[in-house]
Amino acid sequence: MTVRHGIGFARNPCASLLRLYAEAGTVASVGTRRRPFVHLFGPGANAFVFANSGLFRWREAFDLLVPVNGETALIVSDGADHRRRRRLVQPAFHHRRVAGYVARIAANTDAALEAWAPGRTLDAYAELRAVIRRSTVEVLFGDRLAADSEVIGGRLQVALAAIDRNFVLQMMLRSFPNPYMRRVAASRAQVARRVDEEAERRLAEGGEHDDVLAMLLAARDEDGTGLTRQELQDQVISLISAGYDTTSAAMAWAVHALLAHPDAAERARREVAEVVGDRPVQAADLPALTYLDGVVNETLRLFPPAVLSARVPVEDFTYAGHRIPAGAMVFYSPFVTHRMPEVWPQAGRFRPERWDPSCELYRPATPSTFLPFGGGPHRCIGSTLATVEIKTMLACLLRRTRLRLVSTAATPTSVTAMRPRGGLPVRVL
């Protein structure tokens, strides 16, 4: 099973994981005895992992993300370091602050859509990814860094491409000095220098700024200690990369799903027309767009950006009668959970109405059955921003454009930010 799964996973991770669950059930061990890879599938497994966070290390499991995010980023932090850094960053993502970002997100989206002339064929994934990158940098870190968002994105893409490679190849590239990894490090270092420049400029200028960078610069622990220079760099860079890489992947699938299901698209379009009308989308509109909520949630159910997540146990443990050794790589999969028919009726179908309690397909979502942003103490800190951004941008698209898929076929690629392979070609009508 190990060799077959490895080959299948390299070719099509999503299909391979579903096949592994069908064949092995809720616990599947692959890899070698020296370094087993253990997959725990289903809501029970998810609940176990989230409830026993002290049993696992995070840093070792996410080591491959360090070239992008840095040594001190939240996503690779453990224990007290993670709790401290999360406490300092968390206020920037409170839902009231996120609501204040809507106007800028809508304005950036509308500005980009101005160039979407009828008859034009374009890659909606690439176009919307650029909008999300600019909006993310702008609302979190200010206009000056946003003005450099394309350059920042270009540099970060070198590092993002590195962690998007085959797992075995990544391990090989990280194991010895080589020109590729030096280029990755140099590209990230350029972004870090730009972050330093902006931070130093803010400190020299004084004054008040109402964004995440200002909050990070001002954040203090009880003893008056703030973030170190490296911590500041790593938090900013990881929030930029995670903020646009995963969100743009989910946005692409939302657009694809709507275009592949014209009835759903038309229902969403009517709702936006009734609520928003001809004016720009506003934060106050979002609560009334209930069907569009279903579109976003259904997209995240079928196409969660992180196909699977990992932990490394610090001691042996037993789950469902299986002994799992310390040091193993333990995986749980939002993708597999979201596709289980015993959890979600008609699990493989795009049915936004299932999120309406009056629908016969409705099932209450729990942290263990619906986990597009992970769960437990390490749940994605930007989950609210991501869902608000996707919903706002979809409302802008539905209000201003009509599109047609160039091809209805779309193959998922990447397990860290699952997106359509080859982008999302569409024709503007």
Instruction: Kindly state which CATH superfamily the domain 2-428 is placed in.
Output: Cytochrome P450 (1.10.630.10)
pLDDT at res. 3: 59
- Write out pLDDT tens, residues 136-157: 999 888 889 989 988 898 888 8
41, burial (CB in 10 Å: exposed 0-12, middle 13-18, buried 19+): buried
- The predicted structure's pLDDT at residue 243: 81
Closest CA to 228 of 90, 94, 88: 88
Is it the case that residue 119 has pLDDT exceeding 60?
Answer: yes
**Nearest-angstrom CA–CA distance, 153 and 247:** 14
Per-residue pLDDT, averaged over 358-380, amounts to 95
Q: Mean pLDDT, to the nearest integer, of 403-424?
A: 91
Q: Two tokens at 126?
A: 């690439």
For residues 40-46, average pLDDT: 98
Q: Which residues are annotated as a binding site?
A: 380
Backbone φ and ψ for 398, nearest 5 degrees, come out as -65, -30
By CB atoms closer than 10 A (0-12, 13-18, 19+), residue 58 is buried
Question: Any residues with CB less than 8 A from the CB of 305 and at least 6 apart, and which?
Answer: 246, 247, 249, 250, 372, 416, 417, 418
Q: Is the pLDDT of residue 33 over 60?
A: yes
pLDDT class for 168, splitting at 50, 70, 90?
low
Task: Convert the pLDDT of each residue in 312-324 to its tens digit.
Answer: 999 999 999 999 9
Q: Which two tokens stand for residue 15?
A: 């299909």
- Can you tell me the distance from the alpha carbon of 270 to that of 276, in angstroms, rounded to the nearest whole number? 10
From the list 363, 320, 357, 310, the residue with the least C-alpha distance to 338 is 363
For β-strands 36-40 and 329-332, DSSP reports them as parallel
Question: So what's the pLDDT on residue 7?
Answer: 67
Check pLDDT > 90 for residue 425: yes
pLDDT computed for residue 1 by the predictor: 54
Residues 102 and 283: beta-carbon distance below 8 Å: yes
pLDDT bucket at 221, cuts 50 / 70 / 90: confident
* Binding-site entries for heme: 380
User: Residue 190 corresponds to which tokens in the numbers above?
Assistant: 């350029």
Distance CA 361, CA 366 (A): 15
Asked whether residue 2 carries a pLDDT value surpassing 70, the answer given is: no
CA atoms within 13 A on the CB side of 9: 20
217 CB-contact burial (10 Å; exposed 0-12 / middle 13-18 / buried 19+): middle
What is the average pLDDT across 175-190?
87
Question: Is the entire prediction scored with pTM above 0.85?
Answer: yes
pLDDT digits (tens, 9 = 90+) for 300-315: 999 999 899 999 999 9
